[in-house]
Amino acid sequence: MTARILIIAGSDSGGGAGIQADIKTVTMLGGHAMTAITAITAQNTLGVQAVHPVPTEMVIAQIKSVAEDIGVDAIKIGMIGSAETAHAVADWLMAIDVPIVFDPVMIATSGSVLADPETIVAFGRLMALASVVTPNMPELAALGGEAAVLAHGCHLAAKGGHGEGGVIVDRLLSPAGLLAELSGKRIDTTDTHGTGCTFASALACGLGQGMPIIAAFTRAVRFVRIALLSAPGLGSGHGPMGHHLGVVPFDELEGDT
C-alpha cells in the first residue's frame, strides 16, 4: 500500500519550502502526502514578508480528519507555528505509534525568524517523541548541541550544509553513537530554499515505506542533492529546488560516499 505521510508544517506561498516542498518530495518518492497546515506565510526567494499562524484547534482538526479516515504511516513536523500548537501536537502524538521526523524550523534560508523563544522551548516535547530530529547547524546549536538532542532518546540527522569548505558531511547518530556518514562535494548554487523541509520529508517518506533508517537517511540526502542540481533558477534570491525535475542520475553525484 502507498505510504501515507502526514506533514504538519507551514505553507510557503513561493512554493520553495514548507508544505509545498513536502508535498512535492513525498509525491516524487512514491508516497501519499497529507497535510495539517500550522501557519500561512507570505514569502518568496528574498524572504518572509508576513506570517499568520493557524489556530491550534484547526491544526489538530486537520490532523484528526486525515488520521481517522486515511490513516498515517509516518509523520513529518516542520514549522509548528506556536508553543500552544507544539504542545497540542505533542499531546496527540503520544497516542500514535508511527515514525516521526521532526525538523525544528527556527530560521528560514533567507534569515527570517520562524519560531519565537517560547516555541523553541516547547520543541523539547516533540524531540522526546520523535524518531529522528533533523536540525541544520545553527538550529542544532540553538538546541544545545548533539548531546542535548540525543538525550531525548531520538536519532539525530546532523546536516552539514551550513558548514565551511568544499565537502558537505551529513551524519546520522543514535544515542549509542554514529550510524552513518555521507560526504559529497558542495554544489555551487544559491537555489537552496527548502533543503531542510525536503530532507525531512524524504526521510519520513522512507521510514513510512518501511525502509531501514540508514537507507532512508541515504536516500533523503541523495534526493536533496538531485533536487539542488535540478533547480530551475527562479526568483532573485534563494531560489527553489527542482523536486519535479529530479532527473539527474545518482552516478552524477560525484564525490558522494
**Reduced to 3 states, what is the DSSP secondary structure of residue 41?**
strand
And the C-alpha cell for 247?
532527473
Cβ distance 30 to 1 under 8 Å?
A: no
- The neighbour count for residue 198, using CB atoms within 10 Å, is 28
Residue 181: strand pairing partners: 171
In this prediction, residue 244 carries a pLDDT of 83
Cβ distance 75 to 67 under 8 Å?
A: no
Question: What does the chain come to in residues?
Answer: 257
In this prediction, residue 251 carries a pLDDT of 46
Residue in the block written with cell 522526546? 128
In this prediction, residue 121 carries a pLDDT of 87
* Predicted TM-score (pTM) of this structure: 0.92
Domain spans of the chain, in order of start:
4-243
Backbone angles phi, psi at 28, to 5 degrees: -65, -30
Question: What's the CATH architecture for 4-243?
Answer: 3-Layer(aba) Sandwich (3.40)
* Residue type for position 9: A
Going from the first residue of the chain to its last (257 residues), give the mean pLDDT of each consecutive group of 10, the final group possibly shorter: 96 96 96 97 93 96 98 97 94 96 82 75 94 94 94 96 81 97 92 94 98 97 93 92 67 49
104 vs 2, 71, 188, 207, 244, CA distance in Å?
A: 27, 24, 25, 18, 25
Residue 216 to residue 131: CA distance in whole angstroms: 12
Closest CA to 129 of 152, 106, 157, 151: 152
In this prediction, residue 256 carries a pLDDT of 56
In this prediction, residue 108 carries a pLDDT of 64
Give residue 110's region: left, alpha or beta (phi > 0; psi -120 to 50).
Answer: alpha
Residue 118 to residue 101: CA distance in whole angstroms: 21
User: Which positions are catalytic?
Assistant: 159, 192, 194-197
Residue 205 to residue 225: CA distance in whole angstroms: 17
Q: HSE, CB side, 13 Å, CA atoms: give it for residue 120.
A: 15
